[in-house]
Amino acid sequence: MKSTQSLLMVFLLPILMVVLPALLLLSISMKVLEEKSLQSNLLQSNDLDTLVQMATFDRQLSDLHQRITNLLIDTEETQLSATQRYSSYSQIAQELTQIGQRVDSLASSPLLIDLSQDSAAALQRTFLQYQRFVSMANESAARELGDPSLFLKEAQTHFNTFTLFSQQIFEALTLRARERHSLSFDALARSHDTTLWLGIAMMGVLISAAFFASWRINKRLMVVGDAILSLSKRRQPLPDFHSIEKLRQKHSGPLKRITSALITLRDAEQQRREAEQKIHRLAYYDTLTELPNWRLMKEHLQHSLEISHQNTSYGALIYIDVDDFKRINDGNGHSAGDIILRHIAKRLSDINHDGCTIGRVSGDEFCIIIDGLASEQLEAAEKAELFAEKVRHLLTQPYCLNGNYCFLSLTQGLVLFNSSDQSVDNLFQYANAAVHIAKQTGTNAIRFYDPAVQAELEARTELERDLRLAIERDEFVLVYQMQVDNTGRPIGAEALIRWQHPTQGMVSPGVFIPLAEETGLIVQIGTWVLHAACKQLVAWQAFEHTKELVLAVNVSAKQFQQPNFVEEVSNALEASGAPSHKLKLELTESSVIGKIEETIARMHQLKALGISFAMDDFGTGYSSLQYLKRLPLDQIKIDQSFVRDLDQDSDDRTIVQTIIAMGRALNLNVIAEGVETREHWRYLNQHQCHAYQGYYFCKPVAAEEMAGLCLAPPPALA
């Protein structure tokens, strides 16, 4: 049987409990009443037959008696023959016998017996007396044995007695029949009433049982229905289903299957909600700090904008950036950095301020949304700044990390809002821009958003977009600045990149190189420079006056630290056919610090290819001399900041002399850049500097012009 059919039987059960027994009871009642009615009708019919027989009996007996009397008189007067007399008397005897049988029948009728047993016997005796004397009169007349009148006279006496007695009995029978009929009707009425009340009582019991069954079924269905409704209400907690569990344990069949299905559905709904909550937390909360993430903070900020607009009050967005957080990850590992971030989140969460929402938007960046600061902008700004000061004081307290104390500094950017028309993305952008400007003023700085600064940042964003397009469109060109020896003779050149912007013209490297470093585009640009420089080396090999030139190429720290950098250089040399011993890579001190062992190994791999190395901007960094002596360098380059004021600044002269002496002590070639006057050249030459580069000898020029300058006579030092 299907579950739906079984469930239908559950609903039909109360109806069947009433209808089927009611039909059965009605059938029995109708049968009983029918039998009672038949008995009553039979009684009435029998009594009526008895009365009819009694009424006709007297008439028939009177007629017979009259015929007997007439027959006896006729016998005396007409002198009937013996045959006639026997025939008449035989007929009278037969009729008497028949009447006697009827008398016996009447005597045995229920009505007469019910009236009186003695009356029936007396009626029979009286008739027998009458019959005996009539028979005697007939026999006397037939045989002519005597006077039959004597017997007839005696018969007449018994006839009168019988007639009078039968009339009395008839009257008594009529009254008794009426009583019996009345009693039968009363019994039938009582039986009808009894059956009716019994039926009502039984119906009451059945209806009560049906109501009880319906109540029990309804109670179970209500439990099931409430369970289904509770499962349909997504925002309410799931019920414990104790009642459903009891129903499942106590019952079988469709109800057990339904309750089992509900429990299974509840468990599935519980799993779904847990998965939904997990997905929600993954989508809207940071897994490390359990704070709202960037997505949820944007929704909170949109809500805050609407509230501020309704209340005509200012709110504030505070963007927090931990300064130099990379130092913690590099020095102690990322697990230590995660611990610090959790501590920061805990401290921020402990801030007790109404209308304050805290979230983590990226690695070491947090943000705070404050609602309802003030209706006046100046007052709101003061309160926001005080709050930022409180945050700075709280987060700059020492952190305990592996038993050691660690100190942090942070930069905060603030922006106010009070209109729902303001863009959430713009507010985050403004606060982040304020952070960048604050970083330029030092650590632990707090800065409000400045529209002028934002315009500069937007221009920078546009420049970044154009820079990405420049890589695709091949808008870069190389220029070359000649390098000379002590006699001014060209010995090489430095390849310098320029950007030929389609609308802005030539863009200075000082503008786009820092942007490329920050965005990571420097790796792609550096690869292009490397391949272009190798092609230029091949071109110079075709001419006698340029084939000995060594070409220096600047390599950024990010480019040098790429795992495939050695392979990239090798591919560039192989693809172009350039001589590797004519290629010199200029590294900055930031390129080699950090993973020094890995750096040294990579430099030795490149040295094996025949490539030489120069340390660019020497003296401006903080690298250890212990590491410096281990690096396979060929040349160090004196930064132009020390050369520019040689004739005026004694400190610069001391630094230059020290660098030259150090290079000679380490057997390193020394080249000075930024040589712009003959005096610079003369001083450096007097202190035994090996090579020179600067505007005095050659400005950065195209490759063709550079080749032409190599044919010109060298400048005179005297």
CB 637 within 8 Å of CB 671 = yes
In this structure, the answer to whether residues 665 and 584 fall within a common structural domain is yes
Tell whether the model's pLDDT for residue 671 goes beyond 80: yes
In this structure, the answer to whether residues 59 and 95 fall within a common structural domain is yes
Tell whether the model's pLDDT for residue 139 goes beyond 60: yes
In a domain, 666, yes or no: yes
In this structure, the answer to whether residues 553 and 648 fall within a common structural domain is yes
In a domain, 717, yes or no: no
In this structure, the answer to whether residues 483 and 605 fall within a common structural domain is yes
* CATH number of domain containing 364: 3.30.70.270
* CATH number of domain containing 679: 3.20.20.450
Q: What is the mean pLDDT of the chain?
A: 80
pLDDT at 568: 94
CB 22 within 8 Å of CB 203 = yes
Question: Domain of 630?
Answer: 473-711
Distances (CA, A) of 329 to 291, 335, 355, 399, 405: 21, 8, 33, 15, 15
pLDDT at 382: 85
Average pLDDT over residues 522-534: 94
Mapping DSSP to helix (H, G, I), strand (E, B) and coil, where does residue 198 land?
helix
pLDDT at 154: 67
In this structure, the answer to whether residues 431 and 560 fall within a common structural domain is no
What is the rounded distance in angstroms from the CA atom of residue 670 to the CA atom of residue 678?
Answer: 18
In this structure, the answer to whether residues 184 and 310 fall within a common structural domain is no
Q: Is the pTM above the cut of 0.85?
A: no
CB atoms within 10 A of CB 680: 23
In a domain, 199, yes or no: no
In which element (H, E) is residue 417 found?
strand 410-417
What is the rounded distance in angstroms from the CA atom of residue 427 to the CA atom of residue 434?
Answer: 11
With residues binned 3-state (H G I as helix, E B as strand, rest as coil), the percentages for the chain, rounded to 5, are 65, 15, 20
pLDDT at 7: 46
Mapping DSSP to helix (H, G, I), strand (E, B) and coil, where does residue 492 land?
strand
In a domain, 225, yes or no: no
Q: Which is higher by pLDDT, 380 or 232?
A: 380
CB 224 within 8 Å of CB 262 = yes
What is the rounded distance in angstroms from the CA atom of residue 193 to the CA atom of residue 180?
Answer: 19
Mapping DSSP to helix (H, G, I), strand (E, B) and coil, where does residue 683 land?
helix
In a domain, 385, yes or no: yes
Tell whether the model's pLDDT for residue 307 goes beyond 80: yes
In this structure, the answer to whether residues 270 and 303 fall within a common structural domain is no
In this structure, the answer to whether residues 279 and 391 fall within a common structural domain is no
In a domain, 228, yes or no: no
Q: From its phi and psi, is residue 372 left (phi > 0), alpha (psi between -120 and 50) or beta?
A: left
Mapping DSSP to helix (H, G, I), strand (E, B) and coil, where does residue 75 land?
helix
In this structure, the answer to whether residues 482 and 599 fall within a common structural domain is yes
What is the rounded distance in angstroms from the CA atom of residue 418 to the CA atom of residue 375?
Answer: 9
In this structure, the answer to whether residues 530 and 563 fall within a common structural domain is yes
Tell whether the model's pLDDT for residue 570 goes beyond 90: yes
In this structure, the answer to whether residues 377 and 395 fall within a common structural domain is yes
Number of domains into which the chain is organized: 4
In a domain, 23, yes or no: no
* CATH number of domain containing 144: 1.20.1420
In this structure, the answer to whether residues 433 and 533 fall within a common structural domain is no
Domain boundary among the residues 169, 193, 217 is at 193
Tell whether the model's pLDDT for residue 347 goes beyond 80: yes
The token duo for 650 is 């004694």
Residue 542 phi/psi, 5° resolution? -80, -10
What is the rounded distance in angstroms from the CA atom of residue 609 to the CA atom of residue 573?
Answer: 9
In a domain, 236, yes or no: no
What is the rounded distance in angstroms from the CA atom of residue 332 to the CA atom of residue 401?
Answer: 9
Share of the chain above pLDDT 90, in %: 26
